[in-house]
Amino acid sequence: MTPPGEHGEWQRGALESTSMDEIIFVVEDAPDGGLAARALGESILTQAATMAELHDKVRDAVRCHFEVECSAQFWSRR
């Protein structure tokens, strides 16, 4: 990975050359009830009524987004 520049910002092309091993999701209360999860750095967003349902929907959304089987581990932090 290309190291940060003089002022701490990443140089152009730094992120394009890295491999992605994880996707971080922000989980919040949805405005219309239930929960919403959105990925940081990717265009992935999904909603569900419960945390268990959201877990399944996040997996499906990742598979659909990348069109591959997802082998990522999911962690829940409270």
* Mean pLDDT within 52-58: 94
Q: Are 24 and 40 in contact (CB under 8 A)?
A: yes
What percentage of the chain reaches a pLDDT higher than 70?
A: 60
Asked whether residue 16 is assigned to any structural domain, the reply reads: no
Asked whether residue 38 is assigned to any structural domain, the reply reads: yes
CA 31 from centroid of its chain's CA atoms = 20
Dump pLDDT digits (tens) for 2-33: 444 455 554 444 444 445 678 899 999 999 99
pLDDT score of 74 more than 80: no
pLDDT for res 66: 83
Measured distance CA(47)–CA(44) in Å, rounded: 11
Among 25, 28, 33, 34, which Cα is nearest to 65's? 25
One-letter identity of residue 3: P
Q: What is the mean pLDDT of the chain?
A: 75
Domain of residue 57, residue span: 25-66
Beta strands in the chain (DSSP E): 25-29, 35-39, 45-48
Asked whether residue 34 is assigned to any structural domain, the reply reads: yes
Please tell me the total count of domains within the chain.
1
Asked whether residue 3 is assigned to any structural domain, the reply reads: no
Asked whether residue 10 is assigned to any structural domain, the reply reads: no
pLDDT for res 27: 95
